[in-house]
Amino acid sequence: MEENILNPKEILNEFVEEEEGFRHLNNPADGIKPITKKYLGVPTHGVGSGSKYYFTDGDAKVELIVVNEEIMRVRLAPHGVFLEDFSYAVPDLKPKNIAVNFFEDDKEFRVSTAKVNCHIRKADFFISFSDQNNVITSSDAKAMHWEENTQFGGYYVFSTKECHPDENFFGLGDKPTELNLRGKRLVNWNTDAYSFAWNQDPLYRSIPFYISVNEGIAHGIFFDNTFKAHFDFGGEDRTKTSFWADGGEMQYYYIHGPHMMDVVKSYHLLTGTHPMPPLWALGYHQCRWSYYPEAKFRAVAKGFRENKIPCDAIYLDIDYMDGYRCFTWNRRYFPDPKKMIADAAEMGFKTVVIVDPGIRVDDNYPIFKEGKEKKYFCRRSDDYFMEGHVWPGRCQFPDFTNAEVREWWGSLFDELIEYGVAGVWNDMNEPAVFGSGTFPADVRHDYDGYRGSHRKAHNVYGMQMVRATYEGMRKILKNKRPFTITRAGYSGLQRYASVWTGDNVASWEHLRLGNIQCQRLSMSGIPFCGTDIGGFSGEPDGELFTRWIQLGSFSPFMRAHSAGDTKEREPWSFGEPFTAINRNFIELRYRLLPYMYSAFWEHHRYGFPILRPVVMQEQDVLKNHFRQDEFTYGDKILVCPVLEPGQKSRKVYLPKGKWFNFWTNEVETGGEEVEVPTPLETIPIFIKAGSVIPEYPVMQYVGEKPIEEIKLNVYYSDYEANSFFFEDHGESFAYEQDIYSEKKFVVNGDESSLTLNQSMEGLYTPRYDGYHFKVIGLPFVPATITIDGKDIADFVISNEKVLEFKYTKTFSTLQISK
């Protein structure tokens, strides 16, 4: 036995002999360097079938998923192991069962659908995409690469693509800068940005989706990565576009156009569309920090009705709460909220209340107690609670990335809803924390079971809060549509909420910025958006406020809001002539509600944006890539706000085709700029020839009176044009069961006649019986009107060459001739 016992020296010797070359230092890992900028090598293998393909350089792996004919997803695993596939933005990635062709030769691997080819170059693993005409639309300028993050683990992940001389970029949410992002470097990291400035970045929302237009062809990139993400559109190097993130996976969707509209529609296919809002939510909203006490709230309500200015919603900002504790009431200011809300409802007002994510640390506050007992609040890496100061003082914060917490949060709205609250405003959900700005990176999140630190969950926190709010309200309200609004968000937030652009400033620059931000949000998948009309901080004068009301009348979400330390800011606060003009525009909005609601339906059902900048109408005209004032609401009404003080007239570009000046009915030929007078009473508004614009009578609020007839404004055209008119109950989800009416109008005319056809789809029958036709712009004097074979004798031709008559709503074919 004894012979077998070796002394330590002998053991060492034996070891050294066996492991030749091993350095026996105290720290055997000495000299190991983190991975810096590692690029994909040469792809040695490519396999796959159906919708999934894998390529490897022997170590790293690239996955390609063919989602449908237009969309492919690229994903990189630096060491061959992909993270679990989970996305808040794309809840249900179901690749379509389509024909996909997989091809290999000595130059490349190629995966093709009928519309897109993805090329993986064998020399260097560069990935590019081409269309069915073999036009390359996007190509790597470097192979995908990564760099180790020694502090937090994982990798910084990078993708660099070629940027062409005339390539321009759009999208990315509400960046406060020019509409065209060419030359910019931008960051996505949700940030509370009080009184933000032109070019300030980042702001409240992160939408990692952009659209490129190059030589008339558009494609989109959706970089679905929730970490802090960066985009460079030919900024650092004119020939390169890059996007990268501080963690997570290099994972992006290539979305083929060729039109920008196709790209946006496909993006909505991935991330969902906005549900139909309650019709009243398209009305005018009045907000302020804050309307209190009750007497003030009632006075504002009365002010609207006395001034005969339509309004559907009044907001309660943080002062309605007891010490800013969510789900409580300050009973000194609001002794009987239920009665107050009911009285407001009697007058036709919906009440919308604010909630913030910060829950006051207070053991006498039931919400805090429950959250604490059930472990619903976020914690730091060492298990301490995440504590920070917000309005209520010291707060803890629910982890909205935990499904159970969302369920709980959603259930907390039962009392507010029982009191009659119709809408909920989610604020400060970047999340904002006074002093530090937001949570520290080490805060842990459930991330729906997929776990993550705040680095990963930060950008989705606000979206998950408003999701909890929306889903909770939807449950409590049963079949009624909730109305929610959020400040922060990530791609996909449009499934749960509308947004406003945050704490802007009462300045002309911010009016210009707001116009761009809404267009950009709209083309970035967030249709229901608006600015604080008048500017949140600072004081607008009457002219600025009125110009803002005019723009706001054509923002999908229309709300005036102002900070607590500003003067009164209701549409009548500036006296005449401003009050009358503000009233006129808000009335115009109410007249156009059926048109706006139809545009919303086109968004919800078909994924069209509501606001469409000129570049979306004519992307092949390079000059249009730099226009950012004009936009269309839906596809029929072109609006160009007045953005300068004292402006007497301005230039407006009209896309090709014929346009009617809304105010004068004069016809303009598009394809060039026209000079339009801009007295304070108007802004340039044009209607596309061939449009049928449905119109409601002016009401003080949605549903004030039964609608007895619909005005149909028919604009003559000498080519065929389609219009849609959507109607339903306006507040239930019955539309999901086809209880709606979608009417299609087709207009066509020549020098001596005009025909209008109507067809219908859906199971809803509106109560009114008839249409009041207003036919505008006939190039002939009408002598006969026939509707479904019947002659209409009763018609009037008014001064402005407008032909008017009435008929029942069920007609199929209408013909007007000389």
Closer to ligand GLC at the Cβ: 176 or 609? 176
503 is catalytic: yes
Give one DSSP letter per residue of 532-544, joined into a string. EET-SBS---HHH
Catalytic residue among 174, 192, 224, 430: 430
Rounded to the nearest 10 degrees, what angle do helices 508-523 and 542-552 cross at?
10
Task: Give the integer Cα–Cα distance in Å for 358 and 710.
Answer: 47
| DSSP per-residue letters across 426-472 | E-STTT-BTTTBS--TT-EE-GGGT-EEHHHHHHHHHHHHHHHHHHH
Spatial contact of 176 and 513, defined as CB atoms under 8 Å apart: yes
CB contact set of 174 (below 8 Å; sequence gap of 6+): 203, 204, 205, 207, 499, 501, 517, 520, 521, 524, 526, 529
Site string for ligand GLC, 651-670 (x = CB under 6 A): --------------------
The CB-of-324 to ligand GLC minimum distance in angstroms stands at 9
The secondary structure of the chain in percent helix, strand, coil, rounded to multiples of 5, reads 20, 30, 45
Contacts of residue 221, defined as CB under 8 A and 6 or more positions apart, other chains included, come to 138, 209, 210, 212, 243, 252, 253, 254, 255
Transcribe 303-364 into DSSP letters. HHHHHT----EEEE-GGGSBTTBTT---TTT-S-HHHHHHHHHHTT-EEEEEE-S-EE--TT
- Specify the residue, 171 or 502, whose C-beta has the smaller distance to ligand GLC: 502
The CA distance from 270 to 607, in Å, is 10
464 near 456, Cβ under 8 Å?
no
Q: Which long-range contacts (CB under 8 A, 24 or more apart) does 112-116 make?
A: 113/66, 113/68, 113/69, 113/70, 113/72, 114/69, 115/69, 115/70, 115/256, 116/69, 116/70, 116/72, 116/254, 116/256
Note whether 318 binds ligand GLC by CB under 6 A. yes
Binders of ligand GLC in range 354-373 (CB under 6 A): 354
Least distance in angstroms from the C-beta of 561 to ligand GLC: 6
* Residues in region 129-168 near ligand GLC by CB under 6 A: none
Q: In the bound complex, what is the minimum distance in angstroms from residue 487's beta carbon to ligand GLC?
A: 6
The token pair at 203 is 């702001």
Closer by beta carbon to ligand GLC, 189 or else 289: 289
In Å, what is the CA distance from 120 to each residue of 123, 134, 361?
A: 9, 15, 55
Determine, following the binding rule CB under 6 A, whether residue 333 of this chain makes contact with ligand GLC: no
Q: Is 549 helix (H, G, I), strand (E, B) or coil?
A: helix
- Return the residue nearest ligand GLC (CB atom): 289
- State which residue, 334 or 740, has the beta carbon closest to ligand GLC: 334
- The minimum distance between CB 239 and ligand GLC, in angstroms, equals 40
Least Å from the CB of residue 477 to ligand GLC: 24
CB atoms closer than 10 angstroms to residue 770:
15
Residues in contact with 648: Cβ distance below 8 Å, sequence separation at least 6, in sequence order: 677, 678, 679
Residue 354 or 378 having the CB closest to ligand GLC? 354
- In the complex, the smallest distance separating the C-beta of residue 390 from ligand GLC, rounded to whole angstroms, is 10
Q: Are 526 and 242 in contact (CB under 8 A)?
A: no
CB atoms within 10 A of CB 652: 25
Q: Is 317 in the site for ligand GLC (CB under 6 A)?
A: yes
* 776's tokens: 């505008």
Report the residue number, 318 or 776, with the smaller CB distance to ligand GLC. 318
Which residue, 144 or 316, has its beta carbon nearer to ligand GLC? 316
Kindly state the smallest distance separating residue 374's Cβ from ligand GLC, in Å.
27
Question: Minimum CB separation from ligand GLC for residue 124, in Å?
Answer: 48
Catalytic-labelled residue, pool 140, 167, 356, 503:
503
Q: How many chain residues bind ligand GLC (CB under 6 A)? A: 9
**Between residues 217 and 533, which has the closer beta carbon with respect to ligand GLC?**
533
**Burial grade of 646 (CB within 10 A; 0-12, 13-18, 19 or more):** exposed
Spatial separation of the C-alpha atoms in residues 709 and 702, rounded to whole Å? 15
Is position 430 annotated as part of the catalytic site? yes
Does 289 participate in binding ligand GLC (rule CB under 6 A)?
yes
Look up tokens 């897109």; give the residue: 116
Cβ distance to ligand GLC smaller for residue 40 or 488: 488
Site for ligand GLC in 558-577 (CB under 6 A): 561
How many contiguous H segments (helices) and E segments (strands) does the chain have?
13, 54
Shortest CB 354 distance to ligand GLC, Å = 6
Strand duo 240-245 + 209-214: pairing: unpaired
Shortest distance in whole angstroms from residue 427 CB to ligand GLC? 5
C-beta of 564 vs 679, nearer to ligand GLC: 564
- Bridge partners, residue 400, by sequence: none
- What distance, in Å, lies between the first and last C-alpha atoms of the chain? 122
The active-site residue, picked from 162, 232, 312, 427, is 427
| Shortest reach from residue 344's CB to ligand GLC, in Å | 19
Dihedral angle computed from the Cα positions of residues 671, 673, 676 and 682, in that order, rounded to the nearest 10 degrees:
70
Per rule CB under 6 A, is residue 635 in the interface with ligand GLC?
A: no
Site string for ligand GLC, 476-515 (x = CB under 6 A): -----------x--------------xx------------
Which stretches of the chain bind ligand GLC, using CB under 6 A?
A: 289, 317-318, 354, 427, 487, 502-503, 561
Catalytic residue numbers read 427, 430, 503
